[in-house]
Amino acid sequence: MNCIVLSETWVVDNVEVFNLSGYRLIYNEGSFNKTDRLIVYVKKNLQFTQRVVDISEVKALEININFNNTKIRILAAYRNQSVRERQKLNQQKQRRSGKKLNTNPLKKLLSDTDWNLLNREKNINYKTNLFTTKIKKCVEEATSTFIIPKGKVKRKTWITASLVRSIKKKNHMYKSLLRNPEQEDLRSEYKRYRNTLTDVINEAKNRYFSDKIENNRGNSKKIYEDVGVAIRVESGSREEIKKHEMVQQGDQKYRTYFLRLQ
């Protein structure tokens, strides 16, 4: 066997202890958590180069071996589940932020903008695009981001106090899982609780809108408003699903790495 790859080797303080006769040992010294360490053994009679590749918080080992006039590239990587879960946690934190358009700075930016080019330009399409670009730039520069305090996040109407307690319990279980990613029983318990809670929340939401429409029977205007709210909520849910279905940043980095090899 010319090459051996070992993952989840945990912390190795004295790596020389694990030397194998006839092999050279390569250690990635992962730093994300205690399970992302890698050890690669390569036969001593082989010519090879090595480097550590940072891919989405993971230290992968790239080994390039010359074997019988053939170049072989091996990428050894272990991506712990907690990497993906921490990315989801960051997304949840981002959803608690808001944006505010500051009127006075916007007025000043619009006033300081040079609009003479619009008057000189004759191409109506180019003039429209230029005008839109300038307006967007001013709006972006005059917009500030703020963090919504945890206690000030507006709660959806169908989320009852008991559901809030259940959500807090789920979040607590999630944080425990992040601290102990290797505990499969904890992971299974969290997933089971999370899925059950999701079903209960969806049922509460459906019941809420059904009751709203039933109570407003005969009032077409109110029913139209309720249906509009329900559609917007459902659209938002689909948007969240799309976000989760999109390739995560780490997955994209993996893909980019392999595309470069082609």
- How far apart (Å, rounded) are the C-alpha atoms in residues 135 and 117? 14
Strand order in the sheet with 70-76: 47-55, 58-67, 70-76
Does residue 201 contact residue 165 with C-beta atoms inside 8 Å? Answer: no
Question: pTM for the complete prediction?
Answer: 0.37
Q: What is the DSSP string of 214-233?
A: HHTTT-HHHHHHHHHHHHHH
Tell me the torsion sign for CA atoms 154, 157, 163, 167.
Answer: negative
Task: Report yes or no on 88 lying in a domain.
Answer: no
Residue 249 within any structural domain of the chain: no
Pairing of strands 3-7, 23-27: unpaired
Q: Give the CB-side neighbour count of residue 137, counting CA atoms within 13 A.
A: 11
212 and 180 within one domain: yes
Report long-range pairs for 207-213 (Cβ below 8 Å, ≥24 apart): 207/158, 208/157, 208/158
Number of domains in the chain: 3
Q: Which domain holds residue 18?
A: 3-79
| Residue 130 sits in the same domain as residue 180 | no
Is there a domain that residue 50 lies in?
yes
* Structural Rg of the chain based on CA atoms: 28
In-domain check, residue 85 = no
Convert 1-32 to b/e letters by CB count within 10 Å (16 or more is b): eebebebebeeeeeeeeeeeeebebbbbebeb
Q: Can you give the pLDDT at residue 50?
A: 85
**Start-to-end CA span in the chain (Å):** 27
Domain identity same for 161 and 140: no
Can you give the pLDDT of all 262 residues of the chain as single tens digits? 888 888 777 666 677 778 888 998 888 765 555 556 788 899 988 888 888 887 766 778 888 988 888 888 888 877 665 555 565 656 555 556 778 889 899 999 988 988 887 778 778 888 888 888 888 889 999 998 877 666 666 677 788 888 889 999 999 998 888 888 788 888 899 999 999 999 999 888 888 888 877 777 777 777 777 666 666 655 444 444 444 444 345 555 555 555 555 5
* Alpha-helical runs (H) found in 68-183: 81-94, 103-112, 116-120, 124-141, 161-179
Same domain for 182 and 236: yes
* DSSP string over 80-113: -HHHHHHHHHHHHHHTTEEEEE-HHHHHHHHHHS
In a domain, 252, yes or no: no
pLDDT number for residue 199: 92
CB atoms within 10 A of CB 258: 9
- Under 8 Å between Cβ of 25 and 66: no
126 and 55 housed in the same domain: no
Burial class (CB in 10 A: 0-12, 13-18, 19+), 86: middle
